[in-house]
Amino acid sequence: MPADDRSNAYDESPLEWLSFKISLPKYRFIGHDTPVEYALGLVKTWYPVTFRNVKETYLDENQDDNEETEPSPKPVEAKVYDILVYRYRNGCCRINIKLFPPATTETVSQLEASQADETTQADEASLADESNINDSKTGPSAQVVCKYIVSVRNDLLESLEHESKFYEGQLKALQGTVVPNFHGRYILEGTWKDNRDIKFVCILLEDCGEGIADEGFFNLNIEDRITIFKKLVEIHAAGIRQARFEESNVVVKDGDYRIVEFDHASRHNCKWKDTMEQHLGESLKDIGEAFGCQELALCGHELGLWNVTGHNLDRRWPTSKLPARRAHASD
C-alpha cells in the first residue's frame, strides 16, 4: 500500500488511532456509585489486549499484493484510570492514550489547550506525574472514554458497529455539541490467547463528563431539562431515535449536556411539530396529535416538561416540578 493511502485514511476524523495496547477490567460487577479508587481495587484480573482500528484493517485487507507497504507504527500505550460502568465482560471506562500520527499538530494543540483550561497549574503538575500527560519523554496523551464489549455473541459485538455507523453518519454534524466526538472503532489484533472464539471490540469517544444519577432528572432545573430536550430534537431531526431515554443517556461537563448510548438506536422519520413551548406544563393524552412525534413526547414526559396520561409510564412528575403553563390565546 502506498504510504500516502495510509496517512489519508483518517482525514475526515477529528482524531483516531491506528492501534493501542491496554489492559481492560475482567469479570467484575462494579456499580455506578462505586468510588474510583475502590472500583479499580476490585479488579483482580485484567485483559491485556491490543486493539486495531477497523479502518486500518480494511486498508490492509484490500491492498494489492504487488503494492509496496509501509509498516504500521507500534501500538501506543493506553491505561484505564476510571471505571464508569462495568458488567460481565463489557463496560465503559476513562483512559489515557498516547497521541501519535495520524493526529495532527493542530489536534494535539487543541487537546492540550482544553486540558489546560480545565486544570489548575498545581493539578496539571500532579496529573502529569500520575498519567504522563504532556510528559517530555513519552509525549502528550488524550483522555477519552473507551466503551468495550468482550463476548462470543455476534449480536452484542455488532451493537458497537451499529453505534459507530451512526456516529460517522447521521450524528457526524452533531459531534462536539449534541453528542460526543467519535474517535473510531477498534477490534482485537489477532486472537485471544485463552479462547479463540472470544472477540473484543471497542469505540473511543470524547469524555463529556459525568452521567446523571438514577432519578436525577427530578433534580435538574427546568432550563437544563429544556436544553436536553432540544438536543434530543436535533438527534431526531438527523433521523435517529434511541430505543429508550433515561438518565443513563445523558452526561454533563461544566453545564454542557451531551446525549450518549446509540448501540440500540434506529433510523427515524421524525414528524415533530415544534410545539414544545405550547404544551409546557400541560397534561396530555393524545400526544401524537399534540406533538407529531410520540417518541419525543415521551422523552419530554421523562424530562418533566409535561405529563403524559393514558400511557403505562413509571415516572410521574409532581405539579410543583412542572414548568408553568404558557398562556394561550384560547385561555
Which pLDDT score is estimated for 73? 75
| pLDDT confidence of residue 325 | 79
Cβ neighbours around 99 below 10 Å, total? 19
Quote the pLDDT of residue 200.
93
pLDDT at 219: 92
pLDDT of residue 37: 62
Q: By the 8 A CB rule, do 80 and 144 touch?
A: no
| Per-residue pLDDT tens digits for 143-181 | 999 999 998 999 889 999 999 999 999 999 999 999 999
pLDDT tens track for 50-84: 999 998 765 555 555 555 556 667 899 999 998 88
Cell of 208: 463529556
* d(C-alpha 150, C-alpha 137), whole Å: 33
CB 79 within 8 A of CB 126: no
Q: How many beta carbons lie within 10 A of that of residue 84, not counting itself? A: 19
pTM equals 0.80
| The pLDDT value given to residue 222 | 94
pLDDT averaged per 10 residues, the chain (length 331): 36 74 74 62 82 76 54 85 76 88 47 51 38 48 93 90 96 96 94 88 95 88 96 98 92 95 94 94 92 95 92 82 70 50
Domains of the chain: 3-207 (no CATH), 211-321 (1.10.510)
**Exposure b/e, 19-53, CB count within 10 A at least 16 = b:** bbbbebbbeeebeeeeeeeebbeebeeebebebbb
Nearest to 184 by CA among 163, 198, 199: 163
DSSP symbol at 321: G
Q: In this structure, which amino acid lies at residue 312?
A: N
- State residue 279's pLDDT score: 94
Predicted pLDDT of residue 32: 55
